[in-house]
Structure 1
C-alpha cells in the first residue's frame, strides 16, 4: 500500500514536483507536467505523451532525448486535463507540430482530443494517437476499444525517434500507427493496488489464485486461474500473445520482436528474471528472434503485484527505431552524443492561464445576487462529494479503477475555489459557473472531469450575466448539459454511466417547469427521478468506460458516476431551499 503521502488529493502534484526536482538534467516543470530540459530543436516535431499518475516510469520518466519531448501528468489514475496537455504541448512545440500520444481510455481520449482542438486553434498543427495494445480488454474485431498498457513504450519510442530524424508530423504519426498496429500486450496479477489514503486495495485475489487480463488502473482481471509457477506464468503470457498476431505478420518462424516483460509495481526484479528465462526459451522455440528485450518496471500500477508481456512485431524500420539510443530519467539505451547548439536549455515556461486570472465580464445586479445562490449550490455539492468520497471510490472499484471519489473531490473543490474567486470579483451567475466548470475540468481530469466541466459550462452559458435566472433558463441549461454530455462521451441511457441519471433528471426538470412549478419544486421532483435512476443502474451491464471489460462484476452495484450525480442533485436542492429567490 502507499504509506508516504500528505493530503491524498495532492499526491500527484507533490510527486511530480519531487520528480522534477530530482531530474533537472533531463526535465523542467511546466504547468501540467514536464518537458525536456533543453528546448525542442526548431523544425522538429514534438512528441508529447501523457496519462494519469501512478504508472511511473510512465509518463514523466520517459521524457528525454530519444523519447518524449514532454509529458502531461494527471491525477492518480486519471487523465490530465485538456488545459494541462495544451500547456505542456505549447512548451514542447518546436514549430513543426505536435503528436499527442496516450493510452486508449475514455478520459484520455476526451481530454487529448480537446487539447488537440485548442492547439490547432492556437496555430499549432496537432495530431493524436491512442495506444490500444491490451488484447484482454476487447476482441480482435473491436481492437479500437482496447486499453493501452505497457505497449505504450515501444510505440512512444518509435514515434519519438522518427521525430528526431526530422520527419514531418504526418510521417511521425504514420510511424506511431505502424508500431501500434504491431504491438500486443497481456497481463496477470496476484493482488490489487492501494491508492494513497485508502486502507484496502482496489481488488483482491483469493489465496492460490491469480487475476488474468488486468489493466493498469487497478481494474480487476477479466478472469481468474490457479496460481501458476513462474514457468507456467511465462507459458500463459507467451501462448496467449502468439495466438493473436497482427494481420501482416505470418505465423511465428523467422519473425523478430521487441519484448517487454513489465512489472506492475511489487513483483521484484529477480522474480521477473525467473519468468523471463522461460519467456525467452518459449519464443525461441516458436522461431521468434528477440530484439533488445526489456525486463523491469516500465508501466506500473502503484503497488500492484503483477506482470505483463508485450510483443512488438518488428519490420526493418521498426527495429531501427526500437534499437535507437535514448536518455531519459527512467529509460536509457545506447549512447547519444552531446546535444547540439539547437538544444540549448530553454527559458522557464509558464502558460498564460497560470499567471492571468480569467476575465470577469460586467454583470447585472440581479445576476450578481443570483451568483450567491450558485456559490451556495457549489458549496453544497463539494460538501456532499467530500462526505461520500470513500463510498464513491468503493463503488467505482467494483469494476473500475476506484478513483471516482478522489477525482470528484479534486474537481468539486477546485470548482468551488474558482467560483468563490469569481464571485468576489463581481461575477454574475453565468460566469461563476463557467469559471467553476473550467477549474473542475482542469483539476480533476479524467472522464468525470471533462463531463462535469461540460455540465457546469452548459448551465452557466444558459444563465448568462445580464438577467436574473429563471426556472426556464435553468431547465434549458440542464437540458443542454444532458445533450452535450451525450455528444462528448458518446454514452446513452442504458450504458451504465452518469447519462442514466442526467437524462431523466433533465427531462423531469424540464417537464415540471413547463407545468408551472418553480425551480425549487421542480428541482425536488427531478432529484427524486435522479435518485431512482441511479439505483436502477445496479441492474445494468456497463457498455462504456473502464468498467466495460468487467461488466458482469458490476451487476448489483450502481454506477459511481450516476450515484454521485444523484447525490449532488439532492444536495443542490437543499441549497435552493436555503437561498430562495422570487424569480425562481
Structure 2
C-alpha cells in the first residue's frame, strides 16, 4: 500500500515538486509537467512524452539529454489534459516541430490528439505516436488496439535519439513508429496496487495465484494461474514473445533485440535478476542476440508486485538509437551531456508519416489526424470561443449563469458523495480512478464557473470556463468527454438570452454529438453514450410535446437511470475495460452511472423554483 502522502488529491502535484527539487540540474517545472533545463538547438525536433502519474520513472524521470525534452504529467493513472500537453510542448518547441508519444489509452489518445490539433493551429508542426506493445491486450490482427506498457521506454528512447541526431520531424516520427512496430511486451502481477488514501488495492489476486496480462493502471489481468518458479516465469515470458516475431524481422533474419525485464513496483531487483538469468539463457538458445539489456524498474504501477518482459527487435538504425547516450533523472546511459548551443548533425531525410482516420487508431498521425474533433470542440479554447459568444452577457443570461452554477455545484456534491462507489465499479474491469477523476473535474469546474459568475459572465461563458477547467483538472477519457460536452452545451446556450426548453435540448443534442465524435463510441459500446443518447432523445420528445423543462428533464432522468442500469448486460468495446470485457458483465459502466447521477442532480436544481 501507499503509506506516505498528505492530501491524496495533492499527491501527483507534490511528487512532481519533489522530482524537480531532486533533479534541478536536469529538469525544471512548467505548467503541466517538466522540461529539460537546457533548450534544444534551434530548428531541431522536440520530443514530448506523457501520461498519468504513478509510473516512475515514466514519465518525468525520462526527461533529459538523449531522452525526452518534456513530459506532460497527469494525475494518478489519468492522462494529462490537452492544456497540460500543449503547455509542455510550447515550452520545448525549438522550431523543428514536436513529436508527441504516449501509451495507447483512450484518455491519452483523446487529450494528446486535441493538443496536437491545437499545436498545429498555433503554427507548431506536430506528429504523434501511440505505443502499442502489450500483446495481452489484443491479438496481432488488432495491434492498433493494444495498450502501451514498458515498451514506452524503447519508443521514447528511439525518437529522442533520432531528434538528437538531427532528424527532421517526419523522420523522427518514422523512427518512433518503427520502434513501436518492432516492440512486444507481456506482464504478470502477484498483487494489485493501492492508490494514496485508498483502503484496498485496485484488484486482488488469490494467494498462490498470479494475474496474467495485466495493465499498468491497476487493471486486473486477462487470466490467472498458479505462481510459477522464477525459471517457469521466464519461460512463459520468452515463449509468449517469441510466438510473435514481427514479419520484417523474420524476413531479414536479423535477430538482435533490446531486452527489458521490468519491475512494476514491489518485486525486488534480486528477484528480477534471478528471472533475467533464465530469460537470457532462453533467448540465447533461440538465437537472439541481446543488445544492452535493462533489468529494473522502468515503467511501474505504484506498489504493484508485478513483472513484464519487453523485446524490441533491432535493425542497424534502432540499435544505434537504443545504444545512444542518455542522461535523465531516472535513466542514464553512456556519456550524454546537456545540449549546447549548436545544432546537432545527422541525416534529416526520412519517410514522411501520414495516417488517415482518427487518432483513436493507435500509431502515427499527421497534424490533422487527431481524435476526430472539429475546431469548435477543442478543449482549451478561450472562454468566449467555448461559449460561442464574445458579446457581453445580457441580464437574463447572467441570471441564468447563477442557475448554471447551482446545477454544477449540485453535480459536484453528488459526485463527491458517490466517488468511492464509482471507483469500485470502475475497478471491476478498469483502473478504478473514475470517481477520483470525476471529483477533480467537478471541483475545478465549479471553481471556474463561480469565478465566471462573479465576473458577470453569462450562462454560455460560465459553462465554457467550467468545461475547460473540468477537462484540464480531470484528465483521462472522462475529462476530455465532459469538457467537450459542457463546451457544446455552453455554446448552444450562449450569453444573450434566458435558456428555454428548446435551447437546452439543442445544447444536450450538441453535447451528445461532441461526445460521439470525440470518443468514437456508439450505443451498445458500454460507455456514457448508452445513457446520453436515450436521455437526449427522451428530453427532446418531452420538450417537443410541450412539457415544461423541469418535468421533461425529470422524465428523461428516469430513462437515464434505466439506461445506466442496463449497461450491466453489455460487454465494453472501448476504453481500458475492453481487454477485460467478460469481467465487466453484471456491473454497469462507471461513466454511464456517473452521467445518470449528474442528470438526477441537475433535475433537483431545475425543480427548485
Q: Normalising by the residue count of structure 2, what TM-score does the alignment of the two structures yield?
A: 0.92
Match of 2:225 in 1: 225
| 1:47/1:98 contact within 8 Å kept | yes
- Alignment RMSD (CA, Å): 1.4
Match of 2:577 in 1: 547
| 1:57/1:330 contact within 8 Å kept | yes
Match of 2:152 in 1: 152
| 1:253/1:287 contact within 8 Å kept | no
CA drift of 1:339 comes to 3.8
| 1:252/1:287 contact within 8 Å kept | no
Which segments of 5 or more consecutive residues in structure 2 lack a partner in the other structure? 344-380, 385-389
Instruction: Report the Cα distance in structure 1 between the residues aligned to 2:339 and 2:499, rounded to whole angstroms.
Output: 59
Alpha-carbon deviations, 1:472-511, whole Å to 9, x = none?
A: 1001100111111011101001000000001011111111
Instruction: Report the Cα distance in structure 2 between the residues aligned to 1:251 and 1:98, rounded to whole angstroms.
Output: 33
Shifted more, 479-488 versus 59-68: the winner is 479-488
CA drift of 1:37 comes to 0.5
Secondary structure of 1:492 counterpart: coil
| 2:464/2:486 contact within 8 Å kept | yes
Instruction: Report the Cα distance in structure 2 between the residues aligned to 1:338 and 1:559, rounded to whole angstroms.
Output: 47
CA drift of 1:516 comes to 0.4
The correspondence for 1:511, drawn from 531, 541, 547, is 541
Secondary structure of 2:129 counterpart: strand
| 2:383/2:464 contact within 8 Å kept | no
Alpha-carbon deviations, 1:359-386, whole Å to 9, x = none?
A: 6851000000111110000000000010
Q: Following superposition of structure 1 onto structure 2, how do residues 135-534 of structure 1 map, counting pairs within 5 Å?
A: 135-250=135-250, 255-337=255-337, 339-342=339-342, 361-534=391-564
Alpha-carbon deviations, 1:507-559, whole Å to 9, x = none?
A: 11111000001110011011110000000000111010000000010011000
Residue 50 of structure 1 pairs with residue 80 of structure 2:
no
CA drift of 1:207 comes to 1.1
Alpha-carbon deviations, 1:196-223, whole Å to 9, x = none?
A: 1110001100111100001000000000
Q: CA distance change for structure 1 residues 254 and 467 in 2, over 3 Å: closer, same or farther?
A: closer
Residue 113 of structure 1 pairs with residue 143 of structure 2:
no
Instruction: Report the Cα distance in structure 2 between the residues aligned to 1:527 and 1:479, rounded to whole angstroms.
Output: 15
Shifted more, 246-255 versus 234-243: the winner is 246-255
Instruction: Report the Cα distance in structure 2 between the residues aligned to 1:340 and 1:221, rounded to whole angstroms.
Output: 45
CA drift of 1:253 comes to 7.1
| 2:65/2:338 contact within 8 Å kept | no
CA drift of 1:341 comes to 3.3
| 2:220/2:430 contact within 8 Å kept | yes
Q: CA distance change for structure 1 residues 145 and 338 in 2, over 3 Å: closer, same or farther?
A: closer
Match of 2:566 in 1: 536
Instruction: Report the Cα distance in structure 2 between the residues aligned to 1:289 and 1:382, rounded to whole angstroms.
Output: 56
CA drift of 1:2 comes to 1.0
| 1:245/1:251 contact within 8 Å kept | no
Instruction: Report the Cα distance in structure 1 between the residues aligned to 2:412 and 2:63, rounded to whole angstroms.
Output: 35
CA drift of 1:10 comes to 1.6
Secondary structure of 2:250 counterpart: coil
| 2:39/2:92 contact within 8 Å kept | yes
Instruction: Report the Cα distance in structure 2 between the residues aligned to 1:149 and 1:64, rounded to whole angstroms.
Output: 21
Secondary structure of 2:292 counterpart: strand
| 1:252/1:286 contact within 8 Å kept | no
Q: CA distance change for structure 1 residues 358 and 21 in 2, over 3 Å: closer, same or farther?
A: farther
Secondary structure of 1:484 counterpart: helix
| 2:40/2:339 contact within 8 Å kept | no
Q: CA distance change for structure 1 residues 220 and 138 in 2, over 3 Å: closer, same or farther?
A: same
| 2:383/2:461 contact within 8 Å kept | no
CA drift of 1:64 comes to 0.2
| 1:202/1:218 contact within 8 Å kept | yes
| 1:256/1:315 contact within 8 Å kept | yes
CA drift of 1:5 comes to 1.4
| 1:36/1:70 contact within 8 Å kept | yes
Runs of 4+ more than 4 Å apart: 251-254, 356-361
Match of 2:376 in 1: none
Instruction: Report the Cα distance in structure 2 between the residues aligned to 1:482 and 1:517, rounded to whole angstroms.
Output: 21
Q: Following superposition of structure 1 onto structure 2, how do residues 1-150 of structure 1 map, counting pairs within 5 Å?
A: 1-150=1-150
Instruction: Report the Cα distance in structure 1 between the residues aligned to 2:153 and 2:488, rounded to whole angstroms.
Output: 38
Match of 1:571 in 2: 601
| 2:254/2:315 contact within 8 Å kept | no
Secondary structure of 1:393 counterpart: helix
Secondary structure of 1:190 counterpart: strand
Q: CA distance change for structure 1 residues 392 and 338 in 2, over 3 Å: closer, same or farther?
A: closer
Instruction: Report the Cα distance in structure 2 between the residues aligned to 1:341 and 1:160, rounded to whole angstroms.
Output: 18
Q: Normalising by the residue count of structure 1, what TM-score does the alignment of the two structures yield?
A: 0.96
Secondary structure of 2:554 counterpart: helix
CA drift of 1:252 comes to 11
Instruction: Report the Cα distance in structure 1 between the residues aligned to 2:417 and 2:557, rounded to whole angstroms.
Output: 18
Alpha-carbon deviations, 1:68-100, whole Å to 9, x = none?
A: 000000011111000100000000101100000
